[in-house]
Structure 1
C-alpha cells in the first residue's frame, strides 16, 4: 500500500533525518529518568505534589516531569529558551544586539555564541536555586550540605548544556526545530497516563458519561480551533515592478503577498501571563504569612478575579511580544530596497504605518483567541468537576504549533525529493511555485 509512511521511508534523506531525530529524542527521554545522586525520588514526588499550581509546576510541565523527579535533565531546555527570549527582548533596547540580528550569518553565529554562554550561566544559577530548594525537603535529601549542592549544580548544568546540544543537533541534522521538539515530547509524555487516570475515574463513577463526552468534544473542538488560528493569516498584496537585469534582459513584474499571522506571538503571551499570575501562589507556598496566603487564594483558578487578570495579562503580552518580534519599519524599508510596494500605499513611512495598522487590528482577535484557549479548560473542569485530566491552553498551543511546523518541514523535504505530499487533502500544503515574502 502506497501510504504516506512508505513515501517518507522511500526517501533516503528523509529516512536518515527521521531516524536521527528519533534517536536524539530517545536519549533525551532516557536522561529525563536518571535522578541526581543523594535523593529519595519517591519522597520528593510526594512533597512536590503540593506545588503543582505554582511556578515549579509550570516549569515541571516543560521538562516532562524532570523537575519533580530531580533528574539530570531537570532544567530541560528552559535555560536556553530563557536566554533566547532575553536576547530577543534586549534587541529592542540595545542597538548592538539588534545589529547582530541583521548582520547575516556572522551576526547570528556571534549571537548564538552569546546565547550559549548565557545558557550555561542561567543553568548554573537555576541549578543552585533548585539544590537549595531540594534541601528544604529533609525527607528527600539523604545527605544535605556543600557536597550535595556542588554535585547537583554540576550535574544539572552539564545536563542543561547537553540538552541544548541535543536540540541543536536535531535542528541541524534531523527534522523540525530541535528545541521545540524537546518541549513537545516533554509535554505529551504524560498524556497516556492522564488518559488512563481519566478512564479509571470514569469507570469508578467519579466522572459521568455526559462529562466525559463533553471533555472529548471540547478537546477536539479546541484542537481544531488552535490549528485554524495557528494557520490563519492576513495577506497584504505586494507588487514587484518590471525591471531590467543582466544584459538588457527584462524581468516581468510579479505579484506576491506578505502573510501577517493572526497569532504572531505564538504561545509566549500565555507563558508570560502564567508566570506572572502564579507568583502569589509560589511566594505563599514558602511563606507562613496569612496575608500572602489570602492573596494566593484570590489568584486561584476558581474565581472571576483570576480569570479577569489572566485574560488582561494575555491581551497585554500579546501586543507587547508582537511589537518586539515584528518591526513594520524594517519590513517597509526592505520592500522599498527591493522596489516592491503595496498597491495604493506610498513606499516608506506610509507603508510602515499601513502594516502597523493592519497588524494592530488582527492582533486583537488573536489575543482574544489566546485568552479563550487559556481559560476554556478551567471553565470546563469547573462546570463538570473534572480534575484528573491535564488539558491546558499553553501545552495545547505548543503541541499543535510544533506539530504543524514539523509536518511542513517534512512536506518540504518530500517535495525537494520530487515526492508528492502525504497530506494532499489536508490543510497543510506546500506550493513550490508560490512566492512568500
Structure 2
C-alpha cells in the first residue's frame, strides 16, 4: 500500500468516525435521562438529525430546474466559475430548507412532555441553529472526504448511515423469528434475494455500451500524431437513482394536493384517490413504475445530451465510424442512448418496487421499508467507486504520473 493511499484511507476513516460521533450527541436542551429511555434514539435527535436531506433536496431541485431552464444548464457547463455559482445557490436553498425542517422538529419536540428541559426558553432557536449547523458540517465533511479521502463523500456518509442500522435490523429479525411471528424460510429467501440483487447491481452498474470514435491526425509542434481510436462509454443506468425516484411521486401527489385545496381534503374523490395511492396499493405501484421509467429517460437525456456530445466530437475532429459528423451523429447517439436506457429504466423501476412488492404480497421483514433497492444501489455504487479510486491511487506515483 502506498503512503498516499494509506493517508487517504486514514483521513476517510477519521471523517466517518467524526460523523458517527455527531449522531450520538443529542440536541442541546433535551433531557438526556429521558433520551436514554427511548430505544430508537439512534441519532434521530442528534446534531446530525437532519442528515444530508436538506442538501440533497436542494441539489435535486437545482438539477431538475436545469432540465427546464437552459440558462442554468449552460451555467453548469460554462466552467469552474459557473459551477461555483450553482454550488452557492444550492447552499442557499439548503439553508432555507434546513431552517424550515429544523424549526418544525424543534416545535414538535417542545410538545413532548418532559423531553425539553426548558420549553419556554430559547430551546426552539438554539435547537434550530444546532441542527442547521449539523447539516452544513456534514456537507463540509463530505467535501473534505471527496477531496482528501477515498470515494465520494456524500455517498459514503449516506452509506455509513444505512449500514449502521444493519445490526439493529438483524437483531430485530432474530427476535421475531424466535417469537415465531415469521418463519426461518422467509428470512432465508430474503438473504438469497439480496445476494442476487447485489450481484445484478454490480453487473448493471459496471456495464457499458461502447461507441467507437475515431479522432483525426493531430499536429503537436513538429510532430504529427496518427489517427487515434477511442470509445464513448454509455452506462446502462445513466440516470442514477435519486432524481427519478424522488421526483416520481410528485407527478401525481402535487396535482392531488391542489385538488384537495380546491375541492377539500374530505371530498369523496380526493379521499378515494389518497386511499388508492398509499404505499403498497396497486394504483401507487403502477403509477410510480410508469413515472420512474419515464423520468429515467428524461434525466438521461440531460446527462447525455446527444447534440452537445456531437458538437464536442466535431470540435475535436472526432467521428463515429460510418456516421456523418454533426446532426447525423446527434441522431445516431440519441438512438443508441434511448435503446440503452430502456434496460436502465427497467432496472431502476424494479429496484424502486422491491419494498412495495414485499408489502403487497405480505412477505416483508422489519427492515424492508428502509433497506430497499435504492439503499442497496447507493451502498454498492459507493463500494465500486472506492474500489476504482483505490486502484487509481495505487497505480499513481506521488507526482501524479501513472506507473
Alpha-carbon displacement from aligned partner over 1:224-283 (angstroms, at most 9, x marks no partner) = 111111112211111112233211x120111111111111111121233356678889xx
Aligned to 2:372: 392
Q: Give runs of aligned pairs for residues 23-422 of structure 1, distance below 5 A.
A: 23-39=14-30, 66=43, 69-135=44-110, 137=112, 140-141=115-116, 143-144=118-119, 147-247=122-222, 249-268=223-242, 269-273=244-248, 295-380=273-358, 382-383=360-361, 385-390=363-368, 391-417=371-397
Asked if the contact 2:285–2:356 (Cα under 8 Å) also holds between the matched residues in 1, the reply is no
Aligned to 1:424: none
Asked if the contact 2:281–2:360 (Cα under 8 Å) also holds between the matched residues in 1, the reply is no
Question: Cα offset for 1:135?
Answer: 4.4
Asked if the contact 1:40–1:140 (Cα under 8 Å) also holds between the matched residues in 2, the reply is yes
Alpha-carbon displacement from aligned partner over 1:37-93 (angstroms, at most 9, x marks no partner) = 3446898999999xxxxxxxxxxxxxx964xx2211112122222232233233334
Greater mean deviation of Cα atoms: 13-22 or 320-329: 320-329
2:296 and 2:252 map into 1 onto residues whose CA distance is 15
1:258 and 1:135 map into 2 onto residues whose CA distance is 56
Alpha-carbon displacement from aligned partner over 1:131-182 (angstroms, at most 9, x marks no partner) = 3344454565554457222112211111111111111111111111111111
Asked if the contact 2:351–2:373 (Cα under 8 Å) also holds between the matched residues in 1, the reply is yes
1:361 and 1:44 map into 2 onto residues whose CA distance is 53
1:275 and 1:134 map into 2 onto residues whose CA distance is 28
2:132 and 2:308 map into 1 onto residues whose CA distance is 38
Question: Cα offset for 1:97?
Answer: 2.9
Three-state SS of the structure 2 residue aligned to 1:216 is helix
1:406 and 1:85 map into 2 onto residues whose CA distance is 23
Asked if the contact 1:75–1:156 (Cα under 8 Å) also holds between the matched residues in 2, the reply is yes
Please, which runs of 5 or more residues in structure 2 have no aligned partner? none
1:16 aligns with 2:7: yes
1:159 and 1:313 map into 2 onto residues whose CA distance is 33
Three-state SS of the structure 2 residue aligned to 1:386 is coil
Question: Cα offset for 1:18?
Answer: 0.6
Three-state SS of the structure 2 residue aligned to 1:264 is coil
Asked if the contact 2:276–2:282 (Cα under 8 Å) also holds between the matched residues in 1, the reply is no
Asked if the contact 1:88–1:325 (Cα under 8 Å) also holds between the matched residues in 2, the reply is no
Asked if the contact 1:299–1:305 (Cα under 8 Å) also holds between the matched residues in 2, the reply is yes
Equivalenced residue count is 390
Asked if the contact 1:234–1:261 (Cα under 8 Å) also holds between the matched residues in 2, the reply is yes
Question: Cα offset for 1:295?
Answer: 4.3
TM-score by length of 1: 0.80
Alpha-carbon displacement from aligned partner over 1:181-229 (angstroms, at most 9, x marks no partner) = 1111111110111112112222332222321221111011111111111
Please, which runs of 5 or more residues in structure 1 have no aligned partner? 1-9, 50-63, 419-431
Question: Cα offset for 1:387?
Answer: 2.8
